[in-house]
Amino acid sequence: MLAHALVWASSVLSCRADCAAKGEECLATALDSAASWVQRKVGKMDAPKAKPAQDIDQNGYFYTKRGGDATGSNAITWSIPQDFLKPAWTWSNELDEQIRHSALIDDKKNIYIAGTTRLRKFSPDGKMLWLFEQDEAGNTSPTMGKGVIYFRVGYGKGHNRVYALSMETGEVLFKKTVAGFGYGPDSQSLLLAGGRLFLPALSGAPRSDTGGCDSLIALNASTGDELWSYTTDEVMWNFSPSTPDDGKSITFSSTCGAFTRISAIDGKLMVKSTADVSAGPCSTGGGSTGTLPWGAFSFDTQNYISAYNITTGEIAWTHRVEPPYRSCQYPAVGYLYEGGPLAVVAAVGQIAGKPKLMADDELQRYLSDADYRRHLNTPVYSNAVIALDAATGSKIWQWNEADWDHFAAAGDEEGFARRRLLGSIENDICLPDNQGIPVVNTKDGTVIVSSSHNGNMTVIRDANKNGIIEDNETTAFATGVAFLNGPATAPGMLVASPCWGPMYVFRQ
Ligand SMILES: *[C@@H]1O[C@H](CO)[C@@H](O)[C@H](O)[C@H]1NC(C)=O
Ligand SMILES: *[C@@H]1O[C@H](CO)[C@@H](O)[C@H](O)[C@H]1NC(C)=O
Ligand SMILES: *[C@@H]1O[C@H](CO)[C@@H](O)[C@H](O)[C@H]1NC(C)=O
Ligand SMILES: *[C@@H]1O[C@H](CO)[C@@H](O)[C@H](O)[C@H]1NC(C)=O
């Protein structure tokens, strides 16, 4: 068990960059920690009829939160557009709002997109149907169910304020403020399951200086009444809780890889693996569950993705991510193609840093001239996606993105000076992780990668199934603006929403 002091910048947003860029300072955790997410999956695979990821929620909605659905699997089973030459329509993001999350898509393919203070609904063909606007900042993925969409704000005010809006009209059905809990500057997700709404939150406890979240609050989803709260001694980054059993229990992993499962009914602890939390925070990764729980976490100078038995918390397997790649994102879990293997698909890589403030003419030269960037000693960041066999953790394939020789993410560099001058509530940078969570498309046999370096969305298909991703097995759409979260999809529809827009809608 390793335990070093961690150098973790406590300034807003910057801790993620530190994790990636200074890997050696990112901390250690215990290998015997955590839960049984993967194990459960292994069990399912053995069953004659393995159940695919739960990709449509009980309302028929197609994309309901960060990670796609209540399991966080980000796996889908429908065909989506493959041709990215011409979007059906775009929303220009004319106010330069920061778009931290994937859009949500309902059963009629209406699109809901959240900015820092606003939530908009668009029809499938691009008509804005309503706009909800208030004046507190938020950075949490909304979620929706049963005709209601939930939008959480209040960041920096030490409280959680939740608006429950009619999906049809945008009218406020209830507004609930929970005092005593704030939340970190990262990118959490609300979870709706079993008639309860779960809010990732940060108590006033000692760990609150590290950012992230350490608590979960449960509300009655129809009234907003507070049901219970649970505070851990861990830090969850980009806290996206999930449920493996349709809302009976809630599962999550800490930044140091500790797996926790609690009862959704009363918030009582069910299973918790051990981890050296004194060492943390460790990485920006977390866990996905549902059909397969597991944790992605950093381990000192090493770096692991692990799978756990969800019942006992025993480790099922551990896969070491080789440097310079790091496990800094939640994994996706799904069948790679129809009849194909169940896979854990993980975005591994480094997180770009903060932009340098430059005069406009220097910035133009910096952006267009790689030699000049070299002269300025810009770092070079790596990024890859790995598909691992969910039963064993062994690698099926790896795709490496071209290295990124810039100080910061695309879009953050271009807008930094302007946004800083404005002092906007939108913040001056997005500072995304290394990539969005990959989308596993079982129907089309593809994996969709969204780069938080160069802003490319890349569709990967190992067409000849030789375990090597050849150049002719990828197609890219270049947005020029980094993604924090990846595309949302519905049958025949793909919505890509990089940090600073525009939002692109492709239709078949
Ligand atoms: C997880 O642990 C439980 C309890 O020991 C066991 O019954 C179950 O088979 C394990 N799951 C898998 C997939 O091994
Ligand atoms: C939420 O409140 C309603 C109305 O009081 C009640 O019928 C329902 O059982 C509550 N749900 C939960 C999960 O507590
Ligand atoms: C793709 O490239 C590989 C290796 O270069 C080649 O073997 C294969 O035939 C190509 N496939 C197609 C469909 O062109
Ligand atoms: C991004 O996508 C564009 C368009 O396909 C491609 O030309 C470019 O090489 C890609 N960039 C990287 C870094 O892969």
Mean pLDDT of the region 95-121? 98
- Residue-wise pLDDT for 360-419, tens only, equals 999 999 999 999 999 999 999 999 999 999 888 999 999 999 999 999 999 999 999 999
- The mean pLDDT value for 180-189 works out to 93
- Structural domains in the chain, CATH included, are 14-507 (2.140.10.10)
Ligand 2 geometric centre to CA of 220 (Å): 6
pLDDT at 290: 40
Kindly list the distances between the CA atom of residue 63 and the CA atoms of 71, 144, 199, 410, in Å, as whole numbers in the listed order. Answer: 12, 9, 18, 26
Q: Which residue has the higher pLDDT, 116 or 279?
A: 116
Ligand nearest to the CA of 471: 3
pLDDT digit string, tens, across residues 210-266: 678 999 999 999 999 999 999 998 888 899 999 988 899 999 888 877 889 999 999
**What per-residue confidence (pLDDT) applies to 47?**
29
pLDDT value, residue 305: 85
- Does the beta carbon of 39 lie inside 6 Å of ligand 1? yes
DSSP secondary structure string for all residues of 51-78: PPP--S-TT--SB-STTSSTT---EE-S
Q: Say how many Å lie between the CA of residue 454 and the centre of ligand 3.
A: 26
Tell me, in angstroms, the distance from the centre of ligand 3 to residue 398's CA: 17
What's the gap in Å between 382 CA and the centre of ligand 4? 15
Mutate to test the pocket of ligand 2, among 146, 173, 223 (most ligand atoms within 8 A of CB): 223
Whether 193 has a pLDDT exceeding 80, the answer reads: yes
Ligand 2 within 6 A of CB of 220 = yes
Please name the residue whose Cα sits nearest to atom 14 of ligand 2: 220
493, 63 contact by CB (below 8 A): no
User: What angle do the packed helices 412-422 and 360-368 form, to 10 degrees?
Assistant: 160
Q: Which of 385, 404, 408, 352 is nearest to 458 (CA)?
A: 385
Q: Is 370 in the pocket of ligand 4 (CB under 6 A)?
A: no
Name the token pair of 176: 């609930």
What's the whole-number average pLDDT of the chain?
85
| Residue-level pLDDT at 283 | 73
Q: Max CA-CA distance within the chain?
A: 63
| Helix or strand run (H / E) with residue 450 | strand 446-450
Is 45 touching ligand 1 by the criterion CB < 6 Å? no
pLDDT range class, residue 153, cuts 50, 70, 90? very high
Question: How much is the average pLDDT of 175-190?
Answer: 95
pLDDT in tens, 49-86: 334 445 677 789 999 999 999 989 999 999 999 999 99
Q: Using CA atoms, how far apart are residues 504 and 308, in angstroms rounded to an integer? A: 37
pLDDT at 41: 28
Res 68: pLDDT: 95
Percent of the chain at pLDDT above 90? Answer: 68
pTM, two decimal places: 0.89
The predicted model gives 141-167 an average pLDDT of 96
> Which is it for strands 439-441 and 75-76: parallel, antiparallel or unpaired?
parallel
pLDDT (tens digit, 9 = 90+) per residue, 454-470? 999 999 999 999 999 99
- Cα 456 to middle of ligand 4, angstroms: 6
pLDDT tens-digit readout, 311-352: 888 888 888 888 899 888 889 999 999 999 999 999 999 999
Whether 398 lines ligand 1, by a CB cut-off of 6 Å, is no
219 forms beta bridges with 197, 226
Asked if residue 366 lies in contact with residue 376, where contact means CB atoms within 8 angstroms, the answer is yes
Backbone φ, ψ for residue 206 (5° rounding): -50, -30
- CA nearest ligand 2 atom 4, residue: 223
Is the pLDDT at 302 greater than 60, yes or no?
Answer: no
For 14-52, the pLDDT digits (tens) are 223 333 333 322 222 222 222 223 222 222 333 223 344
Please identify, by atom number, the ligand 1 atom nearest to the C-alpha of residue 46.
Answer: 13
Whether the CB-CB separation of 65 and 494 falls below 8 Å is answered with no
Residue with tokens 């807003």: 12
Residue 377 φ/ψ region, left for φ over 0, alpha for ψ in the -120 to 50 degree band, beta for the rest: left
Q: Which of 203-207, 279-283, 322-326 has the highest mean pLDDT?
A: 322-326
Q: What mean pLDDT do residues 281-297 have?
A: 57
d(CA 400, CA 389): 18
